[in-house]
Structure 1
Amino acid sequence: MNRVFIKTYGCQMNERDSEAVAFKLKARGYEIVSDEAIADVVLLNTCSVRDQAEQKAIGKAGHLAHRKKKNQKFIFGVMGCMAQNRGEELFDILPDLDLVVGTQKFHRIPEYLDKITGSTEPKTTNIIDLEDEEFSQEEIRDHLNTSQNKVTAFVSIMQGCNMNCTFCIVPKTRGKERYRSIASITKEVQELVDRGVREVTLLGQIVNAYGRGSLPRIDNKSPFVQLLEKLNEIEGLYRIRFTSPHPTSFGDDLIECFARLSKLCEHAHLPMQSGSDRILKLMNRPYTRKKFLAITKKLRNAHSKMRISTDVILGFPGESDEDYALTKSAFIEATFEMAYIFKYSERSGTPAVELSDSVPKDVKEMRNQDLLTQLEKQSYVSNSSSVGKRYEVLVEGKAKRGKDMLIGRTRCNRRVVFEGNQVLAGELLDIEIKDVSATTLIGENNQ
């Protein structure tokens, strides 16, 4: 009864959390398997940001409940944001559920499974733990030693969020911001580099707000900039990325880093959400369209090869045709090369649920398709400018499609596929771009 399969929904932070849980389970003697069918235990690490993500996880849990009816020794649990948001309600929906664990209790999962499996006495069922735990942010630091982690790795530098966007459930599911020390993060990254990792992506709900109100500014530099400077000194680390930031924490000290820190990649993710000041105010996003676009210009001025991606929510309550037109025009003015575009969905427990004047589904869909079309145009134009140019590409491994094809990324986060041998994984190659699509560059390794 020790084979565990973990299925992860949602963001990179969930992926990082799942890996940390898997590490602790292996340390406790459990076997992590990649085939759900042979698992004795299935854990769902869930997301609550959008309703669709929750519904997928609940649907999956329902299938697992049927499996348990046929085999009472089978164990399944729900962890993460949906567990934190739904809590006891999940046992009402899924009476055969064994385990519900919140976002500050991931490190307790091995001991809880011990109790459920009966490896420790007394044997327990229906365990739920959603309580806050001091220093839980320090528990998300362990990495599995597998081939998948030899080139790139996620590093969580904080947990929680102090912003109060009216559409977002994260402050409820992740709690208040809690920061790891710069020394602890640097040690983790050094250990990853010693194992062959060449690129790290720093994770946090508002990652560039790291340390605010807790760690001091030094020489007028924010704690996040101090962290970037420290990581930039690590020998053997090629690249540094970070996500997901907030526009209000993109100070000049951070923007200047793109010009002066050699390992900080010239790609910035800058969530806009809306281009209408009226909608931004309803969303409780403390910036204006003008201020947001000024940040995009500063970023592009900081580095000539800067590439910027964004998040946009369409169909927020009260969004008029004029509001959408403002969003689209801001999207065009910022010349985003990549974006995550979402149709607004209500999340129970968020202030936006109380707003009236909901946007019809067909209008949301129309705006969604229109902006996706605009994104494809902008992405293709941007990628087309790469044809005939050479880029430094970090080889990540074998591409999903095509015999003997590899995949890697440029510093500005463009995806590149080209022919080559798997042994090149982890190498930096000079790749010439021969063709493009809206999402991918097709290259050739002439070395």
Structure 2
Amino acid sequence: MQITELNKGQNKPGTRKKVAFYTLGCKLNFSETSTIARGFIKEGFDRVDFSEKADMYVINTCSVTENADKKFKTIVKQAQKSNPGAFVAAVGCYAQLKPEELAAVDGVDLVLGATEKFKITDYVDDLTKNDYGEVHSCEIEEADFYVGSYAVGDRTRAFLKVQDGCDYKCTYCTIPLARGISRSDTLSNVLKNAEEISAQGIKEIVLTGVNIGDYGKGEFGNKKHQHTFLDLVRALDEVKGIHRLRISSIEPNLLKNETIDFVAQSKTFVPHFHIPLQSGSDDLLKLMKRRYLTDLYRERVRKIKQVIPHCCIGVDVIVGFPGETDEHFLETYHFLNELDISYLHVFTYSERDNTEAAVMKAVVPKEIRNKRSRMLRGLSVKKRRAFYEGQLGAERNILLEGENKEGYIHGFTENYIKVKTPWNPKLVNTLHKAKLKEIAEDGSVRFDFVKTEIEI
């Protein structure tokens, strides 16, 4: 739906409005929230924390899981508690999939779909609350253009969006319905954004997108690949001033050996891959319409560990997918147990409207889904502990972050081991060579400084 621009300069001197943001879901959402926020600041708004009183609250929604849907109402109530008269807007995936449902939530004034969210300031007049939620959404086929973005959440790390949308048809997933076709930022714009981030003194950039291994498709508005993901990685490796580059998540069929080999000798890409598996059963992978089977996945892990033995490998896995028998689940458990991986992100399957899986037979009871989830979460604890123990005594590069948590400052090694040391404000956003010493009670690792460039 198209509407005319409304009174964009409403914040006159002395009447600056305050806007606050809440982001649900993935790193991609965080990068887009930051871009939307910068648009508000250009229009004369002051950004405040979501817990503070604001004139407008913007909630960037997610609909990957059932819990994300439910949390939305809680967040709206939180905004109303801070300021009952505030204007509340919803954007993001849930807003695209179920705009009328969000608009019906008490206190919501505006709901914007996939193509409208980056033009939100055009839809804001005088922030007077509406009697009912106003919806401006598109057919998802119209979401065929690309908007670049990046998030600077703290002084240490930034999320850089390089790709959006997905052409895959996984039977459990609503993301193609919420974000549209696969399309990419231009290589020149990605490099420009990376340089902007680096100029702010940020030490680490995390590449994000819906399906970043598909990078290059739709780069100039067509479906051809102008560049590949490997081209992107090679070009980013040459950007001056970036200390660390991290790949957020990449499909196993799109993670090529050439990319693994490049990361192994890269100046800035860190030894950490997050590779979705979803199931260790080939039967279920076929039902899910994934684009690989377990043999390919096993080979990717083997290749990584062959050329980067200390590499951290994270895995996404879904439990309780329709048709998952005890035998299928045990296949997954044993497959993961035998793999040389470092940790799991475990998702309990939840039915999503307008997906093939939602109407499949052999539904797994929720109590069994939850039991299987607990088993895999337990396996993840075991895997992470074993990975950390295998790194004790090694010298690693650590990047320390900016928060004082109970007298400690935390950070991560290049291969994603969480570390901690007693709080010292001079350590915020600094890089060091350190020797990993022992695992603390909270699971993080204590270390000794080996080489530091600051006086502490």
Pick from 402, 406, 409 the counterpart of residue 402 of structure 1. Answer: 406
23 and 414 in structure 1: CA distance in 2 versus 1, 3 angstrom threshold: same
Aligned identity (percent) is 27
Q: What does residue 8 of structure 2 align with?
A: none
Number of aligned positions between the proteins: 430
Amino acid at match of 2:51: E
- 1:153-190 deviation per Cα after TM superposition (whole angstroms, max 9, x unaligned): 11001111111111111000011111111000001101
Amino acid at match of 1:235: K
Amino acid at match of 2:446: I
Pick from 277, 280, 288 the counterpart of residue 275 of structure 1. Answer: 280
Distance 1:303 1:105 in 2: 43
Amino acid at match of 2:87: I
420 and 445 in structure 1: CA distance in 2 versus 1, 3 angstrom threshold: farther
Q: What does residue 88 of structure 1 align with?
A: 100
What is the RMSD computed on CA atoms of the aligned residues? 2.4
Q: What does residue 28 of structure 1 align with?
A: 43
Q: What does residue 234 of structure 1 align with?
A: 239
Pick from 348, 362, 368 the counterpart of residue 363 of structure 1. Answer: 368
The reply on whether 1:209 has 2:221 as its aligned counterpart is: no
User: 2:55, 2:127 within 8 Å by CA — same for their partners in 1?
Assistant: no
Give the TM-score, by structure 1 length: 0.90
Superposition pairs for residues 326-341 of structure 1, below 5 Å?
Answer: 326-341=331-346
Distance 2:241 2:102 in 1: 46
Deviation of residue 139 (structure 1)?
A: 4.3
Superposition pairs for residues 371-410 of structure 1, below 5 Å?
Answer: 371-399=376-404, 401-403=405-407, 405-410=408-413
Amino acid at match of 1:107: F
98 and 238 in structure 1: CA distance in 2 versus 1, 3 angstrom threshold: same
Q: What does residue 344 of structure 1 align with?
A: 349
- 1:203-250 deviation per Cα after TM superposition (whole angstroms, max 9, x unaligned): 1111111114758779xxx61111111111112211111222111101
Q: What secondary structure does 1:385 align onto? A: helix
Q: What secondary structure does 1:45 align onto? A: strand
- 1:382-437 deviation per Cα after TM superposition (whole angstroms, max 9, x unaligned): 111222322110122234x232x222211111111112522233322112222215
Q: What does residue 223 of structure 1 align with?
A: 228
62 and 179 in structure 1: CA distance in 2 versus 1, 3 angstrom threshold: same
Deviation of residue 65 (structure 1)?
A: 6.2
Distance 1:445 1:418 in 2: 10
Q: What does residue 125 of structure 2 align with?
A: 114
Superposition pairs for residues 45-444 of structure 1, below 5 Å?
Answer: 45-61=60-76, 64=79, 71=84, 73-91=85-103, 93-94=104-105, 96-114=107-125, 116-117=127-128, 126-131=133-138, 136-141=145-150, 148-212=153-217, 223-399=228-404, 401-403=405-407, 405-436=408-439, 439-444=443-448
Amino acid at match of 1:82: Y
User: 2:270, 2:414 within 8 Å by CA — same for their partners in 1?
Assistant: yes
Q: What secondary structure does 2:197 align onto? A: helix
Gaps (5+ residues) in structure 1?
A: none
The range that moved more, 290-299 or 384-393, is 384-393
Deviation of residue 309 (structure 1)?
A: 0.4
Q: What secondary structure does 1:322 align onto? A: helix
Distance 2:51 2:213 in 1: 37
The range that moved more, 152-161 or 333-342, is 333-342
427 and 135 in structure 1: CA distance in 2 versus 1, 3 angstrom threshold: farther
Deviation of residue 9 (structure 1)?
A: 0.9
Distance 2:273 2:343 in 1: 10
User: 2:167, 2:181 within 8 Å by CA — same for their partners in 1?
Assistant: yes
178 and 296 in structure 1: CA distance in 2 versus 1, 3 angstrom threshold: same
User: 1:395, 1:409 within 8 Å by CA — same for their partners in 2?
Assistant: yes
Give the TM-score, by structure 2 length: 0.88
Distance 1:420 1:89 in 2: 46
Q: Which one has a larger percent helix, Structure 1 or Structure 2?
A: 1
User: 1:116, 1:125 within 8 Å by CA — same for their partners in 2?
Assistant: no
Q: What secondary structure does 2:147 align onto? A: helix
Gaps (5+ residues) in structure 2?
A: 1-15, 452-456
Distance 1:109 1:50 in 2: 25
- 1:105-148 deviation per Cα after TM superposition (whole angstroms, max 9, x unaligned): 22211121235449xxxx9974322226667523425x56xxx5
381 and 56 in structure 1: CA distance in 2 versus 1, 3 angstrom threshold: same
Q: What secondary structure does 2:125 align onto? A: helix
139 and 432 in structure 1: CA distance in 2 versus 1, 3 angstrom threshold: closer
338 and 439 in structure 1: CA distance in 2 versus 1, 3 angstrom threshold: farther
The range that moved more, 412-421 or 303-312, is 412-421
User: 2:21, 2:50 within 8 Å by CA — same for their partners in 1?
Assistant: no
Distance 2:439 2:82 in 1: 45
User: 1:347, 1:353 within 8 Å by CA — same for their partners in 2?
Assistant: yes
Distance 1:223 1:31 in 2: 39
